[in-house]
């Protein structure tokens, strides 16, 4: 799959966590809870931010709606979303390795 990564990267921390949470199908509230737990409380997503992220990510075909019960929409990652998340994680991993191995600044 060829994706124009430059268009999306770097992802904001919230967006990266939202994508990661959507590895399984979840609705809005589920995403918020999962992100807060996963991030050990460092990332709390506000409802305005989440709604905006859902519509942007859906428009870019990075996530897809799999269910709409009452007024709650359930989303999950698309193949494109997975590829983007993978590339983002790869870059963060490089940063992490550099951060941990370089001792001069610590």
Residue ranges binding another protein (CB under 8 A): 12-14, 28-29, 32, 43-53, 55, 70-73
Q: Toward another protein, which CB reaches closer, 20 or 50?
A: 50
Q: Output the CA–CA distances (angstroms, integers) from residue 5 to 2, 9, 26, 31, 81, in the order listed.
A: 9, 6, 25, 24, 11
- Give me the least distance between CB of 44 and another protein, in Å please: 6
Separation between Cα atoms, residue 90 and residue 14, nearest integer Å:
17
Residue with smaller CB distance to another protein, 7 or 103 = 7
Could you tell me the smallest distance in angstroms from the CB atom of residue 14 to another protein?
A: 5
- Which of 38/79 has CB closer to another protein? 38
Q: What is the 3-class SS of 41-75, one letter each residue?
A: CCCCCCHHHHHHHHHHHHHCCCEEEEEEECCEEEE
Q: Report the 10 Å Cβ neighbour count for 39.
A: 17
Q: Which residue's CB is nearer to another protein, number 6 or number 103?
A: 6
- Please, what is the minimum distance in Å from the beta carbon of residue 74 to another protein? 11
Question: What's the closest the beta carbon of residue 1 comes to another protein, in angstroms?
Answer: 25
The three-state secondary structure class of 46 is coil
């Amino acid at each position: 799959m060829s994706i124009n990564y430059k268009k999306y990267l770097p992802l904001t921390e919230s967006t990266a966590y939202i994508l990661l949470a959507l590895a399984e199908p979840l609705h809005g509230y589920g995403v918020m809870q999962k992100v807060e737990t996963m991030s050990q409380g460092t990332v709390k997503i506000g409802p305005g931010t989440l709604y905006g992220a859902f519509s942007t990510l859906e428009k870019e075909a990075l996530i897809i709606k799999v269910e709409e019960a009452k007024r709650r929409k359930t989303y999950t990652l698309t193949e494109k979303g997975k590829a983007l998340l993978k590339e983002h994680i790869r870059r963060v991993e490089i940063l992490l390795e550099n951060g941990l191995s370089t001792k001069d600044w610590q």
